[in-house]
Structure 1
């Protein structure tokens, strides 16, 4: 199968809602997909920077981002348990660190800085999905997942910086 179809050369693409639909590439649905795709790619880059013991956790997040996209289009397995799992990860990591008492500058180690980039991209994806929800049915679990994911990515950034022995720079 060829990677190119030439069907999108004039600015439209096919998506799947309850059936296949052709939309412009700047449609809010496509923009939301794109934001989540960019986030997933940034998390993939983050995976190359972290210890092997953290990769499976991040790969699971990547799989859930695909489920968030499926929720926007046609079907998903994303559910409240996935949000609960992120909260449990946040709590586990938080319990291994001293309390966060101030805003911190994004940065630190290479992995910590990339986790902060992921967090910022996640917030943008969340905003895109919220905009989309004003015009299309989007299950609440999608934007709740993205909201919690940004919290996780902030916590993970702090964690990998501490793990690397890099002090956080307060604002």
Structure 2
């Protein structure tokens, strides 16, 4: 099968139920989710912790699932984000947070390469969240994406903690 179809040469593409311009908000969101998945793949390249990698595999699954939901505005595929996925992120945050010093000031997003990669992914996820707010979608998706940015922020801090890298406070 060839990778090119030539169907998009004039700026259109397909959702599950209709043909739309590539500037369509759902397509824009899918592109941002695709970028997040690529950032996630790069971050995983640097991370050695198997438990964190398993958690990030779940995140990758949900990023793709959300993309699939967004291109199916009529819900023909019957896909949804399980609310338990958000609870799992909260539980992972809580486990990491126990080991971290309480935050009393803003910190920079530097440290280990792994932490910086996760920080880049977090900024991408926050962009997705901003775009989702103006898009008609299920509340469970918004909650998951919001909690995902919290998880990634905590993971960034945790990776620096594990690497014995002190946080740098903003002045």
For normalisation by structure 2, the TM-score amounts to 0.91
Q: Aligned residue for 2:66?
A: 68
| Cα distance in structure 2, aligned partners of 1:23 and 1:40 | 23
1:45-98 deviation line (CA, Å, top 9, x unaligned)? 110011141211111100011111222233424121010011011111111222
Q: What is the 5 A alignment of 1:77-92?
A: 77-92=80-95
Whether 2:127 is the aligned partner of 1:124: answer: yes
Q: Aligned residue for 1:57?
A: 55
RMSD: 1.2
What are structure 1's unaligned runs of at least 5 residues? none
- Give the length in aligned residue pairs: 164
| Cα distance in structure 1, aligned partners of 2:112 and 2:62 | 26
Q: Aligned residue for 1:113?
A: 116
Structure 2 contact 27–71 (Cα < 8 Å) conserved: no
Structure 1 contact 32–132 (Cα < 8 Å) conserved: no
Q: Aligned residue for 1:149?
A: 148
Q: Aligned residue for 2:165?
A: 166
Whether 2:28 is the aligned partner of 1:31: answer: yes
